[in-house]
């Protein structure tokens, strides 16, 4: 009987440890919305978000891009290198 009590106690302790690890992982990932949200220090953020940093307070905020903010790569500007004319000829 004591073996079963110890086994059940061991299973409960291990399951608590595993649940705590999953909670910490969930807190480390930023879940974006269309509203500005503060990003915690060390929190991972996915690519493609609109990000701003308040230079006075140091607070970083992020949100999903609006449709008007998305870049159309077909209309991107390209720099075309040109030969420079020498003024000393």
Q: Does residue 38 sit in helix, strand or coil?
A: strand
Signed CA dihedral, 26, 32, 38, 42: sign only: positive
Higher pLDDT, 19 or 7: 7
Whole-structure pTM value: 0.49
Higher pLDDT, 78 or 61: 61
Q: Please report which helix (H) or strand (E) contains residue 51, including its range.
A: strand 49-53
Yes or no: say if 38 and 60 are a contact pair by the CB < 8 Å rule: yes
Per-residue pLDDT at 10: 74
Residue range 14-67, pLDDT digits in tens: 777 776 555 555 568 899 999 999 999 889 998 889 999 999 999 999 999 887
Mean pLDDT over residues 61-78, rounded?
Answer: 73
| Alpha-carbon gap, residue 52 to 35, rounded angstroms | 12
Give the CA diameter of the chain.
101
């Amino acid at each position: 009987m004591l073996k079963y009590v110890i086994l059940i106690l061991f299973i409960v302790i291990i399951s608590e440890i595993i649940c705590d690890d999953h909670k910490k992982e969930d807190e480390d990932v930023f879940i974006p919305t269309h509203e500005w949200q503060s990003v915690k220090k060390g929190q991972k953020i996915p690519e493609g978000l609109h990000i701003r940093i308040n230079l006075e307070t140091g607070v970083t905020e992020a949100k999903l891009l609006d449709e008007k903010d998305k870049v159309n790569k077909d209309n991107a500007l390209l720099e075309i290198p040109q030969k420079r004319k020498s003024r000393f000829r």
